[in-house]
């Protein structure tokens, strides 16, 4: 039977470690603080940011929530970021995406000081990851590595295949796996003979953003499957394709009119040796790693040694 890798349990473990580090820093008069910038009134983004702020409070980190109006301009946002960059009390700056269409998202992300870029999106941090230098890694790929390590899944010498080449997940996940001495292949929508390549993977990371894209036939028996995708489905025929016979999920689908599925068809988990579920897999690690990055940023900015360094 396939082993379920609980991201929820691993995230809780990381949060306990972060809370201990925060307490240690507090004894030195340091309180790592995150500034979360939420533009406009997008309901999903509001929920995400509130959860991040709530987690900061639970772990003892400082937090500041800044809410510019949806009509904000790029210049106004640049001024805000410059102010946060200059504020020595702020260790991490989070720009909740997506931003409004009139705002130049790339320009704003690059304006954040690399030392405070707790999302790990700045090109300088991307370069540091590539060259193996200390830096702030994107939270979701960093979470993937934590799941593998803390679950005792061997990485060194393994064939790892990453499906997806985004700057936020695919590319950094591949680089982090490479630094753990895996042999890494990156696949994407233009890859030929994709199933043939994925069947050779000891570790398969799905981050392509398509519901149930990875099928049973694409997974090597006994492989570890890390499903990064979060896709909401509302069509009942699609629900039946993935979850036929799951009475509990059927009841929830009937009640809410939707359900969540990853980038991996749940039937593929039957042949896997271990896998991350959706929900409850990679998702919880994203916030946990954001907290860890905020502490890491605080230590690096102040040259304070510790676990996050």
Residue 119 bears catalytic tag:
yes
Cβ–Cβ < 8 Å for 170, 206: no
Q: Exactly one of 96, 158, 202, 220 is catalytic; which is it?
A: 96
Residue 102 bears catalytic tag:
no
Q: Where are the alpha helices (DSSP H) in the chain?
A: 7-26, 43-59, 74-86, 105-111, 123-131, 139-150, 170-179, 194-198, 236-243, 247-256, 283-302
DSSP letter at 184 equals E
Buried b (16+ CB within 10 A) or exposed e, 256-270: eeebebbbbbbbbbe
Question: Strand 224-227's sheet: what is its strand order?
Answer: 3-4, 274-275, 224-227, 203-206, 159-163, 183-187
Strands 259-261 and 231-233, by their bridges, are: antiparallel
Q: State how far the Cα of 96 lies from the Cα of 48, in Å rounded to an integer.
A: 8
Rg for the chain (alpha carbons), in Å?
A: 20
Identify the CA nearest to 206 among candidates 154, 155, 249, 166: 166
Residue 216 bears catalytic tag:
no
Q: State how far the Cα of 28 lies from the Cα of 265, in Å rounded to an integer.
A: 49
Q: Exactly one of 119, 202, 227, 263 is catalytic; which is it?
A: 119
Residues serving a catalytic function are: 52, 96, 119
């Amino acid at each position: 039977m396939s082993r379920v890798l609980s991201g929820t349990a691993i995230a809780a473990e990381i949060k306990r470690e972060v809370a201990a580090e925060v307490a240690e820093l507090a004894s030195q008069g340091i309180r790592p603080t995150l500034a979360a910038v939420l533009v406009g009134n997008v309901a999903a983004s509001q929920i995400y940011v509130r959860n991040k702020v709530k987690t900061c409070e639970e772990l003892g980190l400082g937090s500041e929530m800044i809410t510019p109006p949806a009509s904000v301009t790029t210049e106004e946002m640049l001024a805000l970021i410059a102010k946060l960059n200059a504020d020595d009390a702020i260790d991490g700056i989070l720009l909740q995406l997506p931003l409004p269409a009139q705002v130049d998202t790339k320009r704003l992300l690059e304006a954040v000081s690399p030392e405070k870029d707790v999302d790990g999106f700045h090109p300088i941090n991307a370069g540091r990851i590539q060259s193996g230098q200390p830096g702030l890694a994107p939270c979701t790929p960093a979470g993937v590595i934590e799941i593998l390590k803390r679950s005792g899944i061997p990485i060194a010498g393994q064939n790892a295949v990453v499906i997806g080449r985004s700057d936020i997940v695919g590319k950094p996940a591949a680089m982090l796996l490479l630094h753990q001495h895996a042999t890494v292949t990156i696949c994407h929508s233009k890859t030929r003979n994709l199933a043939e390549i994925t069947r050779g993977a000891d570790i398969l990371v799905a981050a392509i953003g398509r519901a149930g894209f990875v099928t049973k036939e694409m997974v090597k028996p006994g492989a570890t499957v890390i499903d990064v995708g979060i896709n909401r489905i509302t069509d009942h025929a699609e629900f039946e394709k993935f979850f036929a016979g799951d009475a509990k999920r059927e009841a929830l689908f009937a009640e809410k009119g939707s359900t969540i599925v990853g980038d991996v068809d749940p039937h593929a988990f039957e042949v896997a040796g271990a896998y991350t579920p959706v929900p409850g897999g990679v998702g919880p690690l994203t916030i946990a790693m954001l907290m860890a990055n905020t502490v890491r940023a605080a230590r690096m900015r102040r040259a304070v040694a510790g676990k996050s360094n």
